[in-house]
């Protein structure tokens, strides 16, 4: 039994001891079938109550519902409706809540989903005996299997509905349809859509459905999804200018930036075959009907487990239109009575494996049997595939007994079905469709060979001779020979086929299933529940202000269930507003690109940004499209659509903005989002002396905000994680639940971080200097903690002592470094043995890594030390200060020094030079390093998989 426990009274303080009873009920009923509902009107109670169910219920089962702001009588009536709308979306068997302390648990309500939202004085409108149904589909004479199917289905639907046909074609040629049903244009339907109680769309992957893609966005309805993949038709509609950019928009809408980036990489045609592009249709469907469970599996694979849980699977309707006599059919087709005819049905093409059938026929004994014929009933492929197939047929010894009919009439099609002895229906690269041709063969009792591909794999072996999905030519040739020689096997398959079709695919049986599904969706789908709530709110009497309507609308929208992938919001606020191209920005770009290339299962990557001051986060669409190189698509930076279960990852260092967004982030967490932050270091609070005045305060405020609103923090090294846990442990507890802490290491493949290119004008001067003597490279912003002052003084000592070495500094000037910058600019060794490159590209840095003698890392404090890893890729030796984090990253693969005096560093370099010359200095060659893909994977181990290093206790209760 699905139980929803509404704890609003506990939040309000009217039943404060009810929590223990709720926990007992959750234990008794089980985690899978128990949900807890909390109201957003009591935000201060949410974290503690959610924590109280940790370990008892999954986090996703403790839900917060939005209510309109309290105040007027209208808003309170609306709040009651909104609450019931939310509860109804959970499809509970019962809702319970605490009334008071004397009766802690009382059954509050058992919801009738058809009428739940209506005020007591309003009676729900019940459908007429036959509700009015708009049937939107191509119809004959359109050359589409769906058109023929729809014509047959409409006759069955007419037993239950007043059907009207909505078409986008000049004429409907089926006289039986035009005699019984009104035929309406799209323009007419746009004006009268509100008059229909039921709307049904038939969607397939061809241009005859072009008018439906935008129509369903305006007028949602039940979708019969004949093809799971709709990418081909959207590609054609974009190329033809019918729906500009609909393919690119479909890629983003259905599959996000991952598909857009992949499309740029692999090209249009491979992406058409790879991506379904159907989410725009599915999201606006008030119910989905498919013809096989294979489509359910595809939906789970593409959009997340359970997304198709409420879809209905209805067998493809098949009824004989022509009962051709075998002898008469053979006479009409010019076939002899003793001919053994192997036929395959449908348009020819690569995905139909027609060449594989031809090869198997020619390899089998049938090729040399003068009574055996192979007939391809359908239009040949107009391209190279069809030409090659024709050439192979004509060159074969059995050429006179192999035929491609071309397009045939319905009557001739029925004749071939009646006249054939067996059929072969093969397929690869399914688009999620159910093969009508296979069912046509079974309907006529034709012994049929097929490979177990897509939905065909679900047909029982009693009705079909099934080959493996990836069969061999020999297996198919043997199957053909078996059916030719074994009349008993042909009879068994024929009987099994007829039984299957009679029990599952007859028009009357399928028509009843359609009626059951349509009526189920009309009362139980999220669209119908939503519509009931809207109707109920519209019926509230009295004056209402626009702001109250907007508030109620926002609450209903948030409370509506959202099936499918969770959103992983990656904060890139600093990158969007001011990309300083520092090391942190490189990390953000690199991790983000890795996540886009390979999202965690069940997630969609959405970069977002904020301007602070608790303003809503926005989708960073323009920025992200530019980052992945998509120049043609234009998308709006709209406010994010937050759903329970979404994840916010503060990847960018946006300290002031995060501090300003404290209330916004807390609200996001209260409403069911998970909040995580990456912390790069704690230097502003551990070493405030090396930062501008005030940095310690605002960075401390940032860490305080993180401690309050975050579910977890991921540091870029174990050393930083230990420092953070120690620092938080000394601060007052600000939360009920423990704060999780983890760490990950950064990647080092520059090519995966959207590297910048270009060389400075004096690049060759630098390269010549580096090549002329041992050169030591420093990489990083010139700031007080990085050790540049000590290093320059140390090299001045070396130069005075006659040690001929270069110092190459790559990094722009940072804070509190004016004196050193002036000193380097005026230095006598500038561009001789001292080279300062304030803002060079990744291309220039890569060349320096390849030519320098050693990397010098004298920093007095770091979160990771990315240049160490990048140097290790090129086998560049490392001289580093003996910081714990450098020891963690480089281990035995670096030469370490200590001391803050110039002489200490100078002595270390002098000691290193002869070791280097003798080949005895530590080498970085064997130093382990990660790709950015690996790095992002480590980060997701914490964010998605919950693998934590340690926790900071919450406030004791």
500 pLDDT higher than 90: yes
Residue 311 reports pLDDT greater than 60: yes
**618 SS3 class:** strand
Residues in contact with 784: Cβ distance below 8 Å, sequence separation at least 6, in sequence order = 689, 690, 691, 815, 816, 817
Q: Which residue has the tokens 């289905």?
A: 153
Phi and psi at residue 785, in whole multiples of 5°?
-80, -15
Encoded tokens for 305: 């487990």
Neighbour count for residue 2 (Cβ, 10 Å): 14
Give CA–CA dist 488/365, Å, rounded: 19
Strand-pair category, 647-650 with 34-39: unpaired
Distance CA 481, CA 489 (A): 12
Strand order in the sheet with 402-404: 402-404, 372-377, 340-345, 422-425, 448-451, 465-467
Nearest-5° Cα angle at 735, 733 to 737: 115
Q: Are 141 and 167 in contact (CB under 8 A)?
A: no
Kindly state the average pLDDT of the residues 854-872: 93
Q: Is the pTM of this model over 0.95?
A: no
pLDDT digits (tens, 9 = 90+) for 813-862: 999 999 999 999 999 999 999 999 998 888 999 999 999 999 999 999 99
pLDDT tier, 580 (very low <50, low <70, confident <90, very high otherwise): low
Question: What is the C-alpha separation between 917 and 911, in angstroms, rounded?
Answer: 11
Is residue 486 within 8 Å of 465, Cβ to Cβ? no
Output the pLDDT for position 8.
Answer: 87
Segment 305-310 mean pLDDT: 89
What pLDDT was estimated at residue 102? Answer: 53
Per-residue pLDDT band for 956 (boundaries 50, 70, 90) equals low
Contact (CB, 8 A) for 36 and 62: yes
Question: Given pLDDT bands bounded at 50, 70 and 90, which one contains residue 581?
Answer: low
- pLDDT exceeds cutoff 60 at 126: no
Copy the structure tokens of residue 49.
């109550």
Is residue 343 within 8 Å of residue 367, measured between CB atoms? no
Percent of the chain residues topping a pLDDT of 70: 96
Question: How distant is the alpha carbon of residue 848 from its chain centre?
Answer: 39
**Cα 804 from Cα 810, distance rounded (Å):** 20
Cβ-in-10-Å burial (0-12, 13-18, 19+) of 461 comes to exposed
**Beta carbons of 423 and 472 less than 8 angstroms apart:** no
**Residues in Cβ contact with 23 at an 8 Å cutoff, skipping those fewer than 6 apart:** 52, 53, 56
Report the alpha-carbon distance of residue 396 to residue 359 in Å, rounded.
10
For residue 613, whether the previous peptide bond is cis, meaning omega lies within 30 degrees of 0, is no
| pLDDT given for residue 910 in this prediction | 95
Q: Can you tell me the mean pLDDT for 347-359?
A: 96
**pLDDT bucket at 316, cuts 50 / 70 / 90:** very high
What DSSP designation does 830 have? B
Dihedrals φ, ψ of 196, to 5°? -95, 135
Query: Do the beta carbons of residue 102 and residue 15 sit within 8 Å?
Result: no
Reported confidence tier of residue 124, pLDDT bands at 50, 70, 90 = very low
Burial 55-90 (b: 16+ CB within 10 A, else e): ebbeeebbbbbbbbeeeeebbebbbbbbbbbbbbbb
Token readout for 505 is 């695919």
Q: Which two tokens stand for residue 268?
A: 């249009």
Q: Give the pLDDT confidence score for residue 322 in this predicted structure.
A: 66
- Token readout for 200 is 């049904």
pLDDT higher than 60, residue 122 = no
3-state secondary structure at position 200: strand
Q: Which residues contact 519 (CB under 8 A, 6 or more apart)?
A: none
Listed in sequence order, the residues at least 6 apart from 233 whose beta carbon sits closer than 8 Å to its beta carbon are 204, 205, 206, 207, 209, 210
CA atoms in the 13 A half-sphere facing the CB of 604: 26
What DSSP element (H or E) covers 265? helix 246-266
- Give the whole-angstrom CA distance, residue 63 versus residue 644: 7
Query: Model confidence at 481, in pLDDT bands (50, 70, 90)?
Result: very high
Q: What is the pLDDT of residue 13?
A: 82
Say what the pLDDT of residue 113 is.
Answer: 40
d(CA 279, CA 268): 19
Instruction: Specify which residues 201 forms β-bridges with.
Output: 136, 223
What radius of gyration, in Å, describes the C-alpha atoms of the chain? 35
Structure tokens at 632: 């043609």
CA distances from 522 to 160, 286, 315 (A): 14, 8, 20
Say which range, 230-234, 436-440, 468-472, has the weakest mean pLDDT.
436-440
Confidence check: pLDDT of 557 > 80: yes
Helix, strand, or coil (residue 639) = strand
The alpha carbon dihedral of 141, 144, 150, 151 has a sign of: positive
Q: What would the pLDDT profile of 42-81 be if each residue is shown by its tens digit?
A: 998 999 899 999 889 998 899 999 998 888 889 999 999 9
DSSP structural state of residue 616: P
Over residues 660-678, the pLDDT tens digits come to 999 999 999 999 999 999 9
Average pLDDT rounded to a whole number, residues 243-270? 97
Give the model's pLDDT for residue 921: 93
Cα(251)–Cα(260) distance, integer angstroms = 6
Cα angle: 860, vertex 848, 681; to 5 degrees: 25
DSSP 483: H
Question: Is 108 in a helix, a strand, or coil?
Answer: strand
pLDDT tops 80 at residue 247: yes
pLDDT band for position 682 (cuts 50, 70, 90): very high
Enumerate the β-bridge partners of residue 224: 202, 289
Please say if the pLDDT value at position 561 is more than 90: no
Going through 772-853 in order, the beta strands assigned E by DSSP cover 775-779, 806-810, 834-837
Beta strands in 219-282 (DSSP E): 221-225
- The chain-wide mean pLDDT, for the chain, equals 91
d(CA 86, CA 82): 6
Percent pLDDT > 90 in the chain is 78
Is residue 320's pLDDT more than 80?
A: no
End-to-end CA distance of the chain: 32
Rounded CA-CA distance 858/883 in Å is 9
**Phi, psi angles (nearest 5°) of residue 528:** -70, -40
Q: Each residue of 18-43: pLDDT tens digit?
A: 888 889 889 999 999 999 999 999 99
pLDDT digits 0-9 by tens, 503-532: 999 999 999 999 999 999 998 887 888 888
C-alpha pair distances (Å), 68 with each of 37, 50, 109, 509, 538: 16, 22, 21, 46, 15
Tell how many helices (H) and how many strands (E) occur in the chain: 39, 32
Strands 285-290 and 312-313 come out as parallel
The single-letter DSSP state of residue 468 is P
């Amino acid at each position: 039994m699905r139980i929803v426990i509404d704890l609003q009274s506990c939040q309000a303080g009217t039943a404060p001891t009810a929590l223990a009873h709720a926990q007992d009920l959750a234990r008794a009923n089980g985690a899978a079938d128990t949900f807890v509902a909390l109201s957003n009107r009591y935000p201060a109670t949410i974290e503690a109550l959610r924590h109280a169910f940790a370990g008892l219920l999954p986090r996703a089962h403790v839900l917060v519902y939005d209510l309109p702001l309290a105040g007027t009588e209208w808003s309170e009536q609306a709040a009651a409706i909104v609450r019931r709308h939310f509860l109804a979306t959970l499809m509970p068997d019962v809702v319970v809540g605490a009334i008071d302390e004397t009766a802690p648990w009382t059954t509050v309500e058992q919801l009738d989903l058809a009428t739940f939202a209506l005020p007591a004085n309003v009676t729900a409108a019940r459908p007429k005996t036959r509700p009015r149904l708009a049937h939107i589909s191509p119809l004959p004479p359109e050359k589409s299997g769906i058109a023929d199917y729809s014509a047959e289905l409409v006759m069955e639907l007419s037993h239950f509905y007043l059907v009207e046909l909505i078409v986008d074609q000049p004429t409907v040629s089926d006289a039986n349809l035009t005699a019984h049903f009104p035929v309406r244009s799209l323009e007419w339907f746009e004006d009268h859509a509100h008059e229909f109680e039921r709307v049904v769309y038939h969607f397939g992957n061809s241009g005859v459905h072009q008018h439906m893609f935008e129509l369903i966005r305006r007028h949602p309805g039940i979708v019969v999804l004949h093809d799971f993949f709709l990418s081909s038709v959207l590609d054609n509609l974009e190329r033809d200018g019918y729906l500009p950019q609909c393919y690119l928009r479909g890629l983003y809408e259905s599959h996000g930036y991952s598909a857009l980036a992949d499309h740029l990489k692999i090209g249009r045609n491979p992406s058409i075959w790879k991506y379904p592009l159907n989410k725009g249709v599915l999201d606006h469907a008030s119910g989905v009907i498919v013809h096989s469970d294979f489509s359910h599996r595809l939906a789970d694979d593409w959009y997340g487990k359970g997304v198709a849980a409420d879809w209905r699977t209805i067998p493809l309707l098949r009824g004989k239109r022509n009962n051709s006599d075998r002898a008469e059919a053979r006479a009409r087709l010019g076939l002899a009575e003793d001919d053994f005819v192997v036929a395959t049905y449908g348009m020819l093409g690569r995905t139909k494996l027609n060449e594989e059938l031809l090869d198997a026929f020619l390899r089998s004994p049938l090729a040399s049997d003068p009574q055996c014929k192979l007939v391809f009933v359908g239009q040949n492929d107009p391209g190279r595939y069809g030409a090659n197939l024709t050439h192979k047929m004509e060159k074969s010894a059995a050429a006179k007994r192999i035929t491609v009919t071309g397009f045939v009439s319905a009557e001739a099609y029925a004749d071939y079905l009646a006249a054939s002895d067996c059929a072969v229906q093969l397929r690869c690269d399914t688009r999620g469709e159910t093969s009508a041709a296979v069912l046509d063969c079974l309907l006529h009792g034709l012994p049929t060979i097929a490979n177990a591909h897509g939905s065909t794999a679900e047909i029982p072996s009693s009705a079909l001779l099934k080959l493996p999905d990836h069969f061999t030519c020999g297996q198919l040739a043997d199957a053909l020979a078996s059916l030719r020689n074994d009349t008993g096997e042909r009879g068994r398959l024929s009987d099994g086929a007829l039984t299957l079709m009679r029990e599952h695919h007859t028009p009357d049986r399928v028509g009843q299933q359609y009626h059951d599904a349509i009526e189920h969706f009309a009362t139980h789908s999220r669209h119908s529940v939503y519509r009931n709530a809207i109707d109920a709110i519209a019926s509230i009497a009295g004056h209402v202000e626009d702001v109250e309507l907007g508030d109620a609308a926002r609450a209903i929208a948030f409370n509506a269930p959202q099936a499918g992938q969770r959103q992983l919001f990656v904060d890139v606020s600093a990158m969007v507003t001011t990309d300083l191209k520092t090391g942190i920005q490189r990390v953000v770009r690199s991790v983000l690109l890795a996540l886009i290339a390979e999202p965690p299962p069940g997630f969609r990557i959405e970069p977002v940004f904020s301007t602070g001051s608790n303003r809503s986060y926005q989708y960073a669409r323009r920025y992200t499209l530019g980052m992945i190189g998509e120049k043609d698509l234009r998308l709006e930076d709209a406010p994010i659509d937050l759903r329970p279960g979404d994840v916010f990852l503060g990847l960018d260092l946006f300290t002031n903005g995060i501090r300003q967004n404290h209330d916004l982030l807390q609200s996001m967490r209260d409403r069911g989002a998970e909040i995580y932050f990456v912390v790069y270091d704690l230097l502003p609070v551990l070493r405030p002396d090396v930062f501008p005045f005030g940095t310690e305060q605002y960075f401390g405020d940032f860490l305080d905000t993180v401690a309050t609103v975050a579910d977890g923090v991921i540091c870029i090294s174990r050393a930083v994680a230990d420092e953070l846990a120690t620092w938080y442990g000394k601060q007052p507890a600000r939360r009920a639940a423990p704060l999780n802490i983890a760490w990950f290491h950064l990647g080092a493949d520059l090519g995966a971080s959207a590297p910048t290119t270009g060389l400075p004008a004096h690049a060759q001067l630098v390269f010549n200097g580096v090549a002329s003597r041992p050169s030591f490279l420093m990489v990083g912003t010139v700031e007080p903690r990085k050790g540049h002052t000590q290093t320059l003084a140390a090299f001045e000592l070396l130069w005075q002592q006659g040690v001929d070495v270069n110092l190459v500094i790559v990094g722009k000037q940072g804070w509190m470094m004016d004196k050193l910058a002036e000193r380097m600019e005026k230095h006598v060794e500038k561009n001789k043995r001292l080279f300062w490159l304030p803002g060079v590209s990744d291309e220039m840095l890569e060349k320096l890594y390849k030519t320098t003698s050693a990397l010098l890392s004298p920093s007095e404090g770091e979160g990771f030390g990315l240049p160490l890893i990048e140097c290790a890729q090129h086998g560049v030796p490392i001289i580093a200060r003996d910081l714990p984090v450098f020891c963690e990253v480089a281990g035995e693969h670096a030469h370490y020094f200590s001391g803050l005096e110039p002489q200490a560093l100078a002595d270390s370099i002098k000691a290193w030079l002869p070791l280097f010359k003798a080949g005895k200095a530590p080498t970085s060659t064997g130093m382990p390093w990660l790709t950015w893909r690996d790095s992002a994977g480590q980060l997701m181990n914490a964010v998605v998989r919950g693998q934590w290093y340690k926790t900071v206790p919450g406030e004791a209760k």
